[in-house]
Amino acid sequence: MHVIFLEPAFPANQREFVRALHSVGATVTGIGDRPVHSLDNELKSWLSGYEQVPSTANTQAVVDAVRRIQARGPWVDKLECTIEALMYTAAETRQATNIPGLSVEQTTLCRDKRQMKQFLRARGIPCARIADVSTAAELVAFVEQVGFPIILKPVDGAGAHGTYKIDDVPTLQRVIAETGLNGRQRGLVAEEFISGHEGFYDTLTVDGRVVFESVAHYYPNVLEAMKTRWISPQVVVTNRIDAPGYGELRQFGRRVIGALQLGTTPTHMEWFVGDKGLYFSEIGARPPGCRTWDLYCHGNDMDIYVEWARAVVHGHAAPRPSRRFAVGLIALRPSQDGVYSGYSGIDEVRHRYGDCILESHFPAIGSRTAEVGAGYLGHAWMRVRHPDYDRCREILDDIGRTVKVWAR
């Protein structure tokens, strides 16, 4: 099978998808925006060909590259993309070049949050009320209909980037000014705020059948975590997925996948649970971000990348996750914006938890810090695992209290 893979080199774990496709016998041609000589030899060894484009977000450039690949052969069977920001480009390219896969319509339902939630609400899946907002008047009208608090975010945003929680009139007025809604039209989405604990449910799905699933929790919820400097936010993957409390969530996720008629694809579904029960937040027909699949590999004694590749290339996959470990990520933010000036507590936590620490990242002293909301891998971070979920959380909490990241 000949598979085109859109963007094999960035972010860093994209190479793992290429490795996996090559390992199961696929012929892989990459499309990326960097010159082929900048790719390392190992990555190039997994590729049978490569097309450079000015931008992987430029659909016409990608379409032209695919047509060049099709013209020289061999026959192209699939075009795969695992990056949220390039999903539309991939779907539109498939449509233009007659390559099967996730359609433009399905991609729209997995990217446009308003259409997504209206579609699922119509099929009985609990979702927050939502509306397009392009002017200040439309935002005010939505608040009058739903009441405070609400969330305002980009139509196709990922995570909490560009997202506001609006609790009262002064905050509403400030957000209107900051977003420019009082002076020009903007493509934003206003959404009823659903309070409760937040997490995500991920799958690998083959012909609509879930062959692998995983549940993770955010501590605290994403919006709070991305806005508050002193918090060291965590993502923790449970190894207790068979516990009775997760049964409703697992069935809920299958309802969403079925409603969207997703076939062979990874999925990443965000959810809330609180006083109103279990609510759907959003879904992407892609793997989760922050290299979370690496956590699944570490926690389950398996290679989820290879299982995905088997599904793509051979039409079947049979993962056997061990669920041996709970695994978690903690982001460690600098004390202020500026440049990194030092660290403390690293040796202490390595001495305490050396066998549990999987990997860590500490930016070089003197390098510039990122903004507070840069994401879970935007600053220093550590990954850990432990057979007991509660102990895994305790270790992450202790790391958050002990390790300090200094900037000046």
In degrees and rounded to multiples of 5, residue 250 shows phi and psi of: -65, -40
Are residues 177 and 205 part of one domain?
no
% of the chain residues with pLDDT over 90: 83
Section 146-168 average pLDDT: 79
Q: Give the β-pairing of 234-237 and 209-219.
A: antiparallel
The domain spanning residue 163 has which CATH number?
3.30.1490.20
Are residues 317 and 227 part of one domain?
yes
Are residues 214 and 301 part of one domain?
yes
Tens of pLDDT along 229-268? 999 999 999 999 999 889 999 999 999 999 999 999 999 9
Give the DSSP letter of residue 364: P
Which H or E run contains 141?
helix 136-146
Tell whether the model's pLDDT for residue 53 goes beyond 80: yes
Which H or E run contains 201?
strand 197-206
Residues 6 or more apart whose CB falls under 8 angstroms from that of 112 comprise 155, 156
Q: What is the pLDDT of residue 189?
A: 87
Tens of pLDDT along 106-153? 999 998 888 898 899 999 999 988 888 989 999 999 999 999 999 998
The domain spanning residue 70 has which CATH number?
3.40.50.20
The domain spanning residue 249 has which CATH number?
3.30.470.20
Are residues 174 and 95 part of one domain?
no
CA atoms of 41 and 22, how far apart (whole Å): 14
Are residues 160 and 298 part of one domain?
no
Are residues 54 and 154 part of one domain?
no
Q: For residue 243, how many other CB atoms are within 10 A of its CB?
A: 11
Q: What is the pLDDT of residue 234?
A: 97
Whether 107 is covered by a domain: the verdict is no
Mean pLDDT of the chain: 94
Whether 332 is covered by a domain: the verdict is yes
Whether 118 is covered by a domain: the verdict is no
Whether 40 is covered by a domain: the verdict is yes
Tell whether the model's pLDDT for residue 156 goes beyond 70: no
Are residues 232 and 285 part of one domain?
yes
Q: Give the β-pairing of 326-332 and 380-386.
A: antiparallel
Tell whether the model's pLDDT for residue 159 goes beyond 80: no
The SS3 call for residue 75 is coil
Whether 211 is covered by a domain: the verdict is yes
Q: What is the pLDDT of residue 160?
A: 54
Contact call for residues 331 and 392 (beta carbons, < 8 A): no
Are residues 381 and 277 part of one domain?
yes
Whether 123 is covered by a domain: the verdict is no
Contact call for residues 380 and 363 (beta carbons, < 8 A): yes
Are residues 394 and 268 part of one domain?
yes
Q: For residue 195, how many other CB atoms are within 10 A of its CB?
A: 12
State pTM to two decimals: 0.90
- Asked if the bond preceding 288 is cis, omega within 30° of 0, the reply is no
Retrieve residue 403's tokens: 């390790």
Whether 365 is covered by a domain: the verdict is yes
Place of tokens 């006083």: 275
Q: What is the pLDDT of residue 185?
A: 63
Are residues 87 and 70 part of one domain?
yes
Are residues 138 and 212 part of one domain?
no
Are residues 211 and 183 part of one domain?
no
Report the number of distinct structural domains present in the chain: 3
Tens of pLDDT along 176-203? 998 888 776 667 889 998 889 999 999 9
Quote the domain boundaries for residue 72. 2-101
Whether 396 is covered by a domain: the verdict is yes
Tell whether the model's pLDDT for residue 391 goes beyond 90: yes
Q: CB pairs under 8 A, 24+ apart, for 10-17?
A: 10/34, 11/83, 11/291, 12/291, 13/291, 13/293, 13/294, 14/82, 14/83, 15/42, 15/43, 15/46, 16/293, 16/294, 16/305, 17/80, 17/82, 17/305, 17/308, 17/309
